[in-house]
Structure 1
Amino acid sequence: METLNFRFEQGRRRLKAAPELVGVVSSGNLEVLIENVDLKGACAIEIKTAARGFGAIWEAVVGDFQQRWQLADARISINDMGATPAVVSLRLDQAVEAMVEEGA
């Protein structure tokens, strides 16, 4: 297993209070847990993946995600069992869509 951590500062969209879990890691895919926490406006993403050596691809995928959503005070935990970048983006978007505050 490889653990990757990314942090994006100065987000502008806040999340609703309830955590959201999307996907199932036992299906050979991945799961995403997103939570509203005080990170001084930042978004922290931790990825645990069985596919070692893909840090640059993960960085591009989560960077693109954060550019789209601009999350603030969000902690995202990803458990991956070899999902493709397109599936990762889909799961991240599914988790966030239910949680962003209206008008944010």
Structure 2
Amino acid sequence: METLNFRFEHGRHRLPPVAQLSGVVSSGNLEVLVESAVLNGACTIEIRTAARGFGAIWEAVLNDFQERWQLADACIAINDMGATPAVVSLRLDQALQAMTGKTP
């Protein structure tokens, strides 16, 4: 397992004070947990993945995600079992849409 951590500063959109789970890791896919947190306007993302050596791809996918959503005071945990970048983006968007009722 590899753990990757990312932090994005100066987000603009705060989340409601609830948690949202999207996906199921046992499906051979991934699960995403999104929670609001006091982070001085930042968004943190921790990934635990079985696929080692893909940090640059994760960074590109998460940069794209943060550009779409501009999250502030958010904490995201991802448990991955080798999902493709498209599935990662889908699960992240699903979680945020369920929490906010909005699309990016």
Query: For the superposition of Structure 1 and Structure 2, which TM-score range results when normalised by the shorter chain?
Result: over 0.9
TM-score, normalised relative to structure 2: 0.95
Determine the C-alpha separation between the residues in 2 that align with 1:39 and 1:96. Answer: 18
Determine the C-alpha separation between the residues in 2 that align with 1:64 and 1:41. Answer: 18
Unaligned runs of 5+ in 2: none
Letter in 2 for 1:25: V
Identity value in percent: 75
The count of corresponding residues between Structure 1 and Structure 2 is 102
Shift of 1:97: 1.1
- Equivalent position of 1:3 in the other structure: 3
- Give secondary structure in 1 for the equivalent of 2:71: coil
Tell me if 1:18 matches 2:18. yes
- Equivalent position of 1:53 in the other structure: 53
- Equivalent position of 1:36 in the other structure: 36
Larger proportion of strand = 2
Determine the C-alpha separation between the residues in 2 that align with 1:76 and 1:17. Answer: 13
Determine the C-alpha separation between the residues in 1 that align with 2:91 and 2:5. Answer: 18
- Equivalent position of 2:88 in the other structure: 88
Runs of 4 or more, structure 1, over 3 Å off, are none
Shift of 1:99: 2.0
Checking the alignment, whether the CA contact within 8 Å between 1:29 and 1:80 is kept in structure 2 is: yes
- Equivalent position of 1:75 in the other structure: 75
Shift of 1:98: 2.0
